[in-house]
Amino acid sequence: MSGIVRRLCTAVIATSAIAAFTVGCGSDIEPKAIAESSSSVADSTTTSAAPTTSKITGQEGSDDGGDVDIDVSIGDCVKLGGTTTAAEIDNADCGSKESNYKVVAKVPTSDQCASDVDSYYYETLAGDEQGAVCLDVDWVVGGCMDLGSGMDEPARIECSDASGTNVVEVVEILQNSTSIDECGSGADSGFEHPERKFTVCVATL
């Protein structure tokens, strides 16, 4: 697979006679395939399995302001869902079944998120963005995510659960990496983050 799928989801909620409040999200969640024989790069750092989110240096962004209703800090995790016309976001424990994204930065407008974030959530008032949170999938090495049909938000799933439609298991996360070609032989696809220089290597189940 190749290319990027970006989607937006928005909802308008009346807050007064003269203003409307909009929430929205966007996500890139289509992996690129790699040859099974690709080998791991020796100087890359592989994150070990942990009961919570795997720590990735490129996800330690900054809080540059902006105003959103949800109270989150950099490194917190959330459950992002809803539909394309009614985005929903809630706090969640990192690595939990409910968590599907990690907050990697907070910015005044969504276009200020790093170009390679997996998703973002923003809120507007009278058509103007008031704030946005930049999001990456809450990957856990050794854990699985169901990426759905491409219009669904990722959902944590047991690797043995046969009900998933597009399930991937995280094999390793490479720091200082910009290409899925650097993933080891256990991975068959992955997610490149060239701006922040890390690669999530996955195996399709």
pLDDT of residue 35: 37
pLDDT of residue 84: 59
How does residue 154 score in pLDDT terms, banded at 50, 70 and 90?
very high
What is the model's pTM?
0.77
pLDDT of residue 124: 84
pLDDT of residue 203: 96
**Mean confidence (pLDDT) of the chain:** 78
| Cα separation, 60 vs 54, whole angstroms | 12
DSSP 124-184: EETTEEEEEEEEEE---TT-EEE-TTSSSPPEEE-TT-TT-SSEEEEEEEEET---GGGS-
| Cα separation, 147 vs 71, whole angstroms | 26
CA distances from 89 to 101, 135, 173, 176 (A): 10, 12, 26, 31
How does residue 112 score in pLDDT terms, banded at 50, 70 and 90?
very high
Better pLDDT: 204 or 12: 204
Residue type, 141: V
Tokens of 178: 């910009």
**Closest to 31 measured CA to CA, from 178, 191, 168, 164:** 191
pLDDT in tens, 49-100: 334 566 788 899 999 988 899 999 999 999 999 865 577 899 999 999 999 9
